Amino acid sequence: MTFQERLDSGKFTVVAELQPPKGIDLSELFEHANQLKERVDAISVPDLQNAIMRLGSLSVCALLKQKGTEVIYHLSCIHRNRLALQSELLNAAALGLKNILILPGDPPSIGDHYEAPPVLDLDVSGLLEAAQRLQEGFDLMGNDLQGKPLFFVGTQIQAGATGQTLDQEIREMEKKIRLGAKFFFTSSIYDPNPFEDFIKKVAHYNVPILAGITLLKSAGMARYINKHVEGAAIPDAIIDRLIKASDKQQTSVEIAGEIIRKIKPLCQGILIVPIGWEHLIPSLLEQANL
C-alpha cells in the first residue's frame, strides 16, 4: 500500500525520518531502512536539514525506492531559485517519486556553510503553486511541458502555536490546501493539550495530519528547543524526567511513547524524528503499541 493509499484509507500511518549522510556512504542508512521496512509505512528523507551540507534527499529517495521502500522526498525552498525548484520536481517525477514534502528550509547562517547566501525566490505557497502548475502541464511562465508529472504533495504546519500565531497558521493551512497540499506534518509535539486544541480548530478541513515526534536526548536539548524553536513548548515535567533519568535513551522512548498514545486518536499518523537514535525506533513503536 502506498503512502497516499494508506492516508486515503483512513488508516493510522507511521513515517520515520532517516537523515542522509554527510558523504556518499549509505550503508548505515540502508541498514536502518531495512530494519524498519516491515514496521513503518514510509521513510521521510530531509533536504539539507539545519542547513548542513549532506547527500541530497532526491538521490537517497530514488535509491530507497529501488529497494522497494515507500519514500517521501523533501524539497526546501531556501536553497534554490524557481528554475531549480521546478526542475527538481520534474527530476523527482522522472525517478518515480510521487510523495513530496515542501518546506521553507533552514537558513544557511545556522549551518556549516554559514557564508552561503539564501535564495528566497519562492516560499512554500509559491512552490506548492509551481507543483500544481506542473501537474496541469505548464511551468510557472506558462510554457507547455512534454508530459505531466503526478505528485502527492504535503507541507508542514506549526501545531504548537497559540493565539494570533495559531490563527495565522490556520489561515496559511487553508491557503496551502487550496494550492494543492494533500497532507500535513506538524512540528514536533511535546504537549498533547495544545495539539488537541489545534486539531479541533482544523478538523473541518478534512485533510490528513501526521504529528511530529522527536526523541529528546537530554534536558539540555529540551531547553535549547524551548529557547530557539518557534512554537515549541516542552513541559517542565518532561525536562525534570530527563534530568533524573539514569537511562536517557529509555526515558526518551518512554516519553515519546506516552505522547503517541495520547495523540493517536487525534491525528492520522506520526512522523518519528530520531536525530541519530534510529536504532530506538523499533523500541518506540513497541512502547507506543504500534
Q: Report the alpha-carbon distance of residue 75 to residue 119 in Å, rounded.
A: 14
User: How does DSSP assign 204-238, residue by residue?
Assistant: GG---EEEEEE----HHHHHHHHHHSTT----HHH
- Strands 183-188 and 269-273: what pairing? unpaired
Q: Which three cell numbers stand for residue 161?
A: 502555536
For the chain, the domains span 3-282
Reported in sequence order, the residue ranges of the chain that DSSP labels E, i.e. its strands, are 13-17, 42-45, 71-76, 99-103, 152-157, 183-188, 209-214, 269-273
| pLDDT recorded at residue 110 | 92
| pLDDT recorded at residue 159 | 87
Residue 165: pLDDT band (50, 70, 90) is confident
Return the half-sphere exposure (C-beta side, CA atoms, 13 A cut-off) of residue 138.
7
Residue 226's alpha-carbon distances to 186, 190, 233, in angstroms, are: 16, 11, 5
Rounded to the nearest 10°, the torsion over CA 206, 211, 212, 213 is: -170
Are the C-beta atoms of 264 and 12 separated by less than 8 Å? yes
pLDDT digits (tens, 9 = 90+) for 103-157: 999 999 999 999 999 999 999 999 999 999 999 999 999 999 999 999 999 999 9
**Confidence (pTM):** 0.95
pLDDT digits (tens, 9 = 90+) for 24-78: 999 999 999 999 988 999 999 999 999 999 999 999 999 999 999 999 999 999 9
| pLDDT recorded at residue 160 | 76
Are the C-beta atoms of 31 and 287 separated by less than 8 Å? no
Residue 85: pLDDT band (50, 70, 90) is very high
| pLDDT recorded at residue 119 | 96
| pLDDT recorded at residue 87 | 98
Residue 212: pLDDT band (50, 70, 90) is very high
CA 44 and chain centroid, separation: 7
CATH topology for the 3-282 domain: TIM Barrel (3.20.20)
Neighbouring-strand partners of residue 14: 270
